[in-house]
Protein backbone atom coordinates (compact mmCIF):
# COMPACT_ATOMS: atom_id res chain seq x y z
CA UNK A 1 0.00 0.00 0.00
CA UNK A 2 1.38 3.41 -1.02
CA UNK A 3 0.10 5.65 1.79
CA UNK A 4 -1.02 4.27 5.15
CA UNK A 5 -2.55 6.18 8.04
CA UNK A 6 -2.22 3.96 11.08
CA UNK A 7 -4.15 4.69 14.25
CA UNK A 8 -4.01 8.49 13.99
CA UNK A 9 -5.36 10.34 17.01
CA UNK A 10 -5.74 14.05 17.69
CA UNK A 11 -7.39 15.78 20.63
CA UNK A 12 -7.93 19.47 21.38
CA UNK A 13 -8.44 19.83 25.14
CA UNK A 14 -11.45 17.59 25.80
CA UNK A 15 -12.50 17.29 22.16
CA UNK A 16 -11.45 14.30 20.07
CA UNK A 17 -10.93 15.52 16.48
CA UNK A 18 -9.56 12.26 15.04
CA UNK A 19 -10.16 8.95 16.78
CA UNK A 20 -7.89 5.96 16.00
CA UNK A 21 -8.09 6.47 12.24
CA UNK A 22 -6.84 3.82 9.83
CA UNK A 23 -6.84 4.47 6.09
CA UNK A 24 -4.91 3.12 3.11
CA UNK A 25 -4.48 4.87 -0.26
CA UNK A 26 -3.22 3.20 -3.43
CA UNK A 27 -0.58 4.73 -5.67
CA UNK A 28 -2.17 6.93 -8.34
CA UNK A 29 -5.52 6.92 -6.56
CA UNK A 30 -7.68 9.93 -5.74
CA UNK A 31 -9.34 9.22 -2.40
CA UNK A 32 -11.78 11.72 -0.93
CA UNK A 33 -12.45 12.13 2.77
CA UNK A 34 -16.08 13.19 2.92
CA UNK A 35 -17.94 14.34 5.99
CA UNK A 36 -19.75 17.18 7.76
CA UNK A 37 -18.01 20.21 9.22
CA UNK A 38 -16.08 19.33 12.38
CA UNK A 39 -15.81 15.61 11.63
CA UNK A 40 -11.97 15.67 11.58
CA UNK A 41 -11.30 15.44 7.85
CA UNK A 42 -9.16 18.60 7.58
CA UNK A 43 -7.27 17.67 10.76
CA UNK A 44 -6.50 14.30 9.17
CA UNK A 45 -5.23 15.97 5.99
CA UNK A 46 -3.02 18.34 7.96
CA UNK A 47 -1.51 15.49 9.95
CA UNK A 48 -0.61 13.82 6.64
CA UNK A 49 0.99 17.08 5.48
CA UNK A 50 2.80 17.55 8.78
CA UNK A 51 1.12 20.87 9.61
CA UNK A 52 -0.45 19.35 12.74
CA UNK A 53 1.40 16.77 14.89
CA UNK A 54 -0.51 13.60 15.66
CA UNK A 55 -0.95 12.74 19.33
CA UNK A 56 -0.36 9.12 18.35
CA UNK A 57 -0.34 6.94 15.28
CA UNK A 58 1.78 6.93 12.13
CA UNK A 59 1.83 8.26 8.58
CA UNK A 60 3.65 5.75 6.36
CA UNK A 61 4.50 6.66 2.75
CA UNK A 62 6.11 4.01 0.53
CA UNK A 63 7.16 2.16 3.67
CA UNK A 64 8.84 5.21 5.24
CA UNK A 65 7.58 6.62 8.53
CA UNK A 66 6.82 10.31 7.88
CA UNK A 67 5.21 11.02 11.25
CA UNK A 68 8.00 13.16 12.71
CA UNK A 69 9.25 14.72 9.46
CA UNK A 70 8.49 18.48 9.22
CA UNK A 71 6.09 19.58 6.46
CA UNK A 72 8.75 21.30 4.33
CA UNK A 73 10.69 18.04 4.09
CA UNK A 74 7.71 15.78 3.30
CA UNK A 75 7.15 14.78 -0.35
CA UNK A 76 3.65 16.25 -0.20
CA UNK A 77 2.10 19.45 -1.56
CA UNK A 78 -1.12 21.09 -0.40
CA UNK A 79 -3.80 23.08 -2.20
CA UNK A 80 -5.58 25.13 0.46
CA UNK A 81 -9.18 26.31 0.54
CA UNK A 82 -7.98 29.93 0.66
CA UNK A 83 -5.47 29.39 -2.22
CA UNK A 84 -2.71 31.01 -0.04
CA UNK A 85 -1.10 32.77 -3.00
CA UNK A 86 1.48 35.52 -2.51
CA UNK A 87 -0.27 38.79 -3.46
CA UNK A 88 2.97 40.67 -4.18
CA UNK A 89 4.07 38.12 -6.79
CA UNK A 90 2.81 37.49 -10.29
CA UNK A 91 1.53 34.14 -11.54
CA UNK A 92 4.81 32.53 -12.64
CA UNK A 93 6.57 33.72 -9.47
CA UNK A 94 3.88 32.10 -7.33
CA UNK A 95 4.09 28.83 -9.25
CA UNK A 96 7.88 28.65 -9.07
CA UNK A 97 8.27 29.80 -5.46
CA UNK A 98 8.72 26.34 -3.92
CA UNK A 99 11.33 25.39 -6.51
CA UNK A 100 13.73 27.94 -4.98
CA UNK A 101 14.47 25.39 -2.28
CA UNK A 102 15.23 22.61 -4.78
CA UNK A 103 18.59 24.04 -5.88
CA UNK A 104 17.41 24.42 -9.47
CA UNK A 105 18.68 26.95 -11.99
CA UNK A 106 16.31 29.80 -12.73
CA UNK A 107 15.85 28.70 -16.33
CA UNK A 108 14.78 25.22 -15.26
CA UNK A 109 12.45 26.67 -12.60
CA UNK A 110 10.74 28.90 -15.17
CA UNK A 111 10.48 26.04 -17.66
CA UNK A 112 8.81 23.74 -15.13
CA UNK A 113 6.52 26.53 -13.99
CA UNK A 114 5.42 27.26 -17.55
CA UNK A 115 4.74 23.57 -18.16
CA UNK A 116 2.39 23.50 -15.18
CA UNK A 117 0.69 26.71 -16.27
CA UNK A 118 0.20 25.17 -19.71
CA UNK A 119 -1.39 22.14 -18.08
CA UNK A 120 -3.89 24.27 -16.13
CA UNK A 121 -4.53 26.54 -19.14
CA UNK A 122 -2.96 29.71 -17.74
CA UNK A 123 0.32 30.15 -19.57
CA UNK A 124 -1.04 33.36 -21.13
CA UNK A 125 -1.39 34.75 -17.58
CA UNK A 126 2.20 34.04 -16.53
CA UNK A 127 3.07 37.70 -15.85
CA UNK A 128 -0.25 38.82 -14.39
CA UNK A 129 -0.50 39.88 -10.73
CA UNK A 130 -2.52 37.20 -8.94
CA UNK A 131 -4.97 39.77 -7.58
CA UNK A 132 -6.10 40.43 -11.16
CA UNK A 133 -7.21 36.81 -11.60
CA UNK A 134 -10.68 35.40 -11.08
CA UNK A 135 -11.34 32.88 -8.29
CA UNK A 136 -11.15 29.97 -10.73
CA UNK A 137 -7.87 31.23 -12.17
CA UNK A 138 -6.38 31.67 -8.70
CA UNK A 139 -7.36 28.10 -7.88
CA UNK A 140 -5.57 26.91 -11.03
CA UNK A 141 -2.45 28.81 -9.99
CA UNK A 142 -2.58 27.19 -6.55
CA UNK A 143 -2.93 23.78 -8.20
CA UNK A 144 0.01 24.46 -10.54
CA UNK A 145 2.15 25.66 -7.63
CA UNK A 146 1.50 22.42 -5.75
CA UNK A 147 2.05 20.11 -8.72
CA UNK A 148 5.25 21.81 -9.91
CA UNK A 149 6.91 20.33 -6.82
CA UNK A 150 6.25 16.86 -8.22
CA UNK A 151 4.90 15.60 -4.87
CA UNK A 152 4.36 11.96 -4.08
CA UNK A 153 1.01 12.90 -2.53
CA UNK A 154 -1.15 15.88 -3.45
CA UNK A 155 -3.33 17.12 -0.58
CA UNK A 156 -6.45 19.15 -1.43
CA UNK A 157 -8.32 20.82 1.42
CA UNK A 158 -11.82 21.80 0.20
CA UNK A 159 -10.17 23.47 -2.82
CA UNK A 160 -13.40 24.42 -4.61
CA UNK A 161 -15.58 25.63 -1.76
CA UNK A 162 -15.06 29.33 -2.60
CA UNK A 163 -16.23 28.96 -6.21
CA UNK A 164 -19.74 29.17 -7.62
CA UNK A 165 -21.57 25.96 -8.55
CA UNK A 166 -20.89 25.99 -12.29
CA UNK A 167 -17.20 26.78 -11.86
CA UNK A 168 -16.87 24.09 -9.17
CA UNK A 169 -18.17 21.53 -11.65
CA UNK A 170 -15.71 22.68 -14.31
CA UNK A 171 -12.76 22.77 -11.91
CA UNK A 172 -13.34 19.32 -10.43
CA UNK A 173 -13.23 17.87 -13.96
CA UNK A 174 -9.97 19.71 -14.62
CA UNK A 175 -8.44 18.54 -11.32
CA UNK A 176 -9.46 14.96 -12.09
CA UNK A 177 -8.08 15.14 -15.65
CA UNK A 178 -4.72 16.50 -14.45
CA UNK A 179 -4.49 14.01 -11.58
CA UNK A 180 -5.08 11.09 -13.93
CA UNK A 181 -2.73 12.45 -16.60
CA UNK A 182 0.12 12.79 -14.09
CA UNK A 183 -0.78 9.60 -12.23
CA UNK A 184 -0.42 11.48 -8.96
CA UNK A 185 -1.73 10.12 -5.64
CA UNK A 186 -4.23 12.56 -4.14
CA UNK A 187 -6.05 12.93 -0.85
CA UNK A 188 -9.06 15.22 -1.32
CA UNK A 189 -11.09 16.66 1.57
CA UNK A 190 -14.63 17.89 0.98
CA UNK A 191 -18.04 18.19 2.62
CA UNK A 192 -19.74 18.23 -0.80
CA UNK A 193 -21.16 14.79 -1.55
CA UNK A 194 -21.67 15.49 -5.26
CA UNK A 195 -18.05 16.58 -5.54
CA UNK A 196 -16.79 13.42 -3.82
CA UNK A 197 -19.01 11.13 -5.88
CA UNK A 198 -17.90 12.66 -9.17
CA UNK A 199 -14.15 13.04 -8.63
CA UNK A 200 -13.06 10.06 -6.51
CA UNK A 201 -11.73 6.58 -7.11
CA UNK A 202 -12.79 5.81 -3.55
CA UNK A 203 -14.51 7.73 -0.76
CA UNK A 204 -13.87 7.55 2.99
CA UNK A 205 -16.98 8.79 4.79
CA UNK A 206 -16.02 10.34 8.13
CA UNK A 207 -18.07 11.28 11.19
CA UNK A 208 -17.04 12.32 14.71
CA UNK A 209 -13.38 11.59 14.05
CA UNK A 210 -13.98 8.06 12.74
CA UNK A 211 -14.21 6.46 9.30
CA UNK A 212 -17.73 5.10 8.79
CA UNK A 213 -17.19 3.48 5.38
CA UNK A 214 -14.60 3.29 2.60
CA UNK A 215 -15.58 2.27 -0.91
CA UNK A 216 -16.09 3.31 -4.49
CA UNK A 217 -18.61 6.12 -5.08
CA UNK A 218 -21.10 3.61 -6.47
CA UNK A 219 -20.61 1.31 -3.50
CA UNK A 220 -21.13 3.92 -0.78
CA UNK A 221 -24.15 5.34 -2.60
CA UNK A 222 -25.90 2.05 -3.38
CA UNK A 223 -24.75 0.04 -0.35
CA UNK A 224 -24.26 2.41 2.61
CA UNK A 225 -22.78 0.73 5.68
CA UNK A 226 -25.12 2.42 8.14
CA UNK A 227 -27.81 5.06 8.52
CA UNK A 228 -25.35 7.95 8.79
CA UNK A 229 -23.74 7.12 5.42
CA UNK A 230 -27.14 6.58 3.83
CA UNK A 231 -28.36 9.99 5.02
CA UNK A 232 -25.17 11.91 4.31
CA UNK A 233 -24.61 10.65 0.77
CA UNK A 234 -27.46 11.65 -1.49
CA UNK A 235 -31.14 11.85 -0.55
CA UNK A 236 -32.98 8.87 0.87
CA UNK A 237 -36.34 7.84 2.29
CA UNK A 238 -36.53 5.78 5.49
CA UNK A 239 -39.74 3.78 5.57
CA UNK A 240 -41.06 1.36 8.20
CA UNK A 241 -40.68 -2.30 7.26
CA UNK A 242 -41.73 -5.49 8.97
CA UNK A 243 -41.12 -5.60 12.71
CA UNK A 244 -38.05 -3.48 13.56
CA UNK A 245 -36.90 -3.24 9.96
CA UNK A 246 -36.38 0.09 8.22
CA UNK A 247 -36.39 0.33 4.44
CA UNK A 248 -33.96 2.81 2.87
CA UNK A 249 -35.02 3.81 -0.64
CA UNK A 250 -33.51 6.47 -2.90
CA UNK A 251 -35.99 8.89 -4.55
CA UNK A 252 -35.00 7.73 -8.03
CA UNK A 253 -35.65 4.07 -7.12
CA UNK A 254 -39.42 4.63 -6.77
CA UNK A 255 -41.91 4.46 -9.64
CA UNK A 256 -45.17 6.40 -9.64
CA UNK A 257 -48.42 5.38 -11.29
CA UNK A 258 -52.03 6.53 -11.31
CA UNK A 259 -53.25 3.01 -12.06
CA UNK A 260 -51.52 0.53 -9.79
CA UNK A 261 -48.69 -0.03 -7.35
CA UNK A 262 -47.86 -1.57 -4.01
CA UNK A 263 -48.51 1.55 -1.86
CA UNK A 264 -51.01 4.41 -2.23
CA UNK A 265 -50.14 7.98 -1.30
CA UNK A 266 -51.25 11.58 -1.78
CA UNK A 267 -49.12 14.25 -3.42
CA UNK A 268 -48.60 17.20 -1.07
CA UNK A 269 -45.99 19.15 -3.05
CA UNK A 270 -43.87 19.01 -6.19
CA UNK A 271 -40.63 20.77 -7.15
CA UNK A 272 -39.29 21.14 -10.68
CA UNK A 273 -35.49 20.73 -10.74
CA UNK A 274 -34.72 20.75 -14.46
CA UNK A 275 -33.70 17.20 -15.30
CA UNK A 276 -36.20 15.75 -12.86
CA UNK A 277 -39.26 16.67 -10.81
CA UNK A 278 -39.44 15.78 -7.11
CA UNK A 279 -42.82 14.75 -5.72
CA UNK A 280 -43.44 14.83 -1.97
CA UNK A 281 -46.00 12.13 -1.23
CA UNK A 282 -47.80 11.48 2.05
CA UNK A 283 -47.85 7.76 2.80
CA UNK A 284 -49.31 7.04 6.24
CA UNK A 285 -47.25 9.13 8.68
CA UNK A 286 -44.33 9.51 6.26
CA UNK A 287 -43.46 11.98 3.51
CA UNK A 288 -41.78 10.11 0.67
CA UNK A 289 -39.65 11.92 -1.92
CA UNK A 290 -39.82 10.57 -5.46
CA UNK A 291 -37.73 11.82 -8.39
CA UNK A 292 -39.36 11.52 -11.80
CA UNK A 293 -37.34 12.34 -14.97
CA UNK A 294 -38.86 15.53 -16.37
CA UNK A 295 -39.44 13.93 -19.77
CA UNK A 296 -41.64 11.31 -18.07
CA UNK A 297 -43.41 13.69 -15.70
CA UNK A 298 -47.21 13.37 -15.95
CA UNK A 299 -47.72 16.77 -14.34
CA UNK A 300 -49.71 15.48 -11.41
CA UNK A 301 -50.35 17.96 -8.60
CA UNK A 302 -51.08 18.30 -4.88
CA UNK A 303 -54.10 16.28 -3.80
CA UNK A 304 -53.71 13.62 -6.49
CA UNK A 305 -53.63 10.02 -5.30
CA UNK A 306 -50.78 8.01 -6.80
CA UNK A 307 -49.31 4.54 -6.33
CA UNK A 308 -45.69 3.82 -5.45
CA UNK A 309 -43.66 0.76 -6.31
CA UNK A 310 -39.99 0.07 -5.65
Contact 207, 227 (CB under 8 A): no
pLDDT tens digit sequence for 131-154? 999 888 998 999 999 999 999 999
Distance between CA 166 and CA 300 in Å, rounded?
31
164 pLDDT exceeds 90? no
Average pLDDT over residues 163-178: 88
**Band (252; pLDDT cuts 50, 70, 90):** very high
Burial of 278 per CB tally in 10 Å (0-12, 13-18, 19+): middle
**Band (197; pLDDT cuts 50, 70, 90):** very high
Bridge partner residues of 9 (DSSP): 56
pLDDT tens digit sequence for 18-44? 999 999 999 999 999 999 999 999 999
> Among 199, 207, 269, 194, which residue's Cα sits nearest to residue 233?
194
Per-position b or e across 148-167, b if 16+ CB within 10 A of its CB:
bbebbbbbbbbbbeebeeee
Q: Give the residue extent of every domain in the chain.
A: 3-230, 237-309
pTM over the 0.85 mark: yes
Contact 199, 172 (CB under 8 A): yes
Q: Could you give the percent of the chain with pLDDT greater than 70?
A: 100
Distance between CA 31 and CA 162 in Å, rounded?
21
Average pLDDT over residues 251-256: 94
Pick the more confident residue, 17 or 295: 17
Q: Which H or E run contains 106?
A: helix 106-119
Provide the pLDDT for residue 12.
94
Q: Quote the CATH superfamily of domain 3-230.
A: P-loop containing nucleotide triphosphate hydrolases (3.40.50.300)
Provide the pLDDT for residue 40.
96
Q: What is the architecture of the domain spanning 237-309?
A: Beta Barrel (2.40)
> Among 107, 105, 177, 168, which residue's Cα sits nearest to residue 147?
177
Provide the pLDDT for residue 187.
98
End-to-end, the C-alpha distance of the chain in Å comes to 40
From the DSSP assignment, how many helices (H) and strands (E) are in the chain? 8, 17
Burial of 209 per CB tally in 10 Å (0-12, 13-18, 19+): buried
> Among 77, 72, 114, which residue's Cα sits nearest to residue 96?
114
Measured over the CA atoms of residue 79, residue 39, residue 32 and residue 45, the dihedral's sign is: positive
Pick the more confident residue, 136 or 51: 51
Amino acid sequence: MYLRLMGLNKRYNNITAVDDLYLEINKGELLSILGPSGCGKTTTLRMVGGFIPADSGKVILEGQDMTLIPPNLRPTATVFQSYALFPHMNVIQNVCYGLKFKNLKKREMISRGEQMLEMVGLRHCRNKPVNQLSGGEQQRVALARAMVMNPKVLLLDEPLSNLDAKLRQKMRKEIRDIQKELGITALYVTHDQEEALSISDRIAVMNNGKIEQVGTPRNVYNSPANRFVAEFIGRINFLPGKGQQVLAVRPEQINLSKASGSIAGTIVQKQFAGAYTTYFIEVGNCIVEVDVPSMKDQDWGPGDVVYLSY
